[in-house]
């Protein structure tokens, strides 16, 4: 239940509520992003850290979910976490984690 705060600047409670509702979407998008990248480049390379271009791409993948910049960043970090998680698991499955 929202308190009436503006959608583009959620209070901490509403941000937490929205994050709880949308984190699964971000996680799924992160895994799909990693799968898409794996089709185009060698999986032996490490997944990039959440900074610079990688962070901008991640924010772009969740920007349609909210107009609140803090929530966009939080969801983008969740997306990047799940992309990296998929990437590491796939690397390990191919014996490339050594």
Q: Which helix (H) or strand (E) holds 93?
A: helix 69-93
User: Residue 97 pLDDT more than 60?
Assistant: no
Q: How far is CA 33 from the centre of its chain?
A: 9
Could you tell me the CA-to-CA distances from 52 to 48, 55, 59 in Å, in that order? 10, 5, 11
Q: Examine the pLDDT at 1 and tell me if it is beyond 60.
A: no
Look at residues 93, 61, 79, 60 and name the one whose alpha carbon lies nearest to residue 19.
79
Q: Say if residues 74 and 59 touch (Cβ distance below 8 Å).
A: no
Gap between the Cα atoms of 90 and 83, Å rounded:
11
Counted residue by residue, the chain has a size of 98
Band (98; pLDDT cuts 50, 70, 90): very low
pLDDT value, residue 41: 87
Q: What is the pLDDT of residues 10-50, one digit of tens each?
A: 999 999 999 999 999 999 999 999 999 999 988 888 999 99
- Predicted confidence (pLDDT) per residue in 58-88, tens digit: 999 999 999 999 999 999 999 999 999 999 9
94 near 43, Cβ under 8 Å?
Answer: yes
Domain ranges of the chain: 13-93
């Amino acid at each position: 239940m929202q308190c009436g705060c503006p959608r583009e600047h959620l209070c901490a409670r509403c941000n937490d509520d929205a994050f709880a509702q949308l984190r699964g979407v971000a996680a799924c998008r992160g895994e799909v992003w990693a799968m898409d990248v794996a089709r185009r480049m060698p999986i032996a390379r490490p997944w990039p850290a959440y900074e610079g271009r990688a962070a901008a791409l991640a924010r772009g993948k969740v920007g349609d979910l909210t107009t609140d910049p803090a929530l966009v960043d939080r969801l983008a970090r969740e997306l990047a976490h799940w992309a990296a998680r998929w990437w590491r698991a796939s690397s390990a499955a191919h014996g490339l984690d050594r």
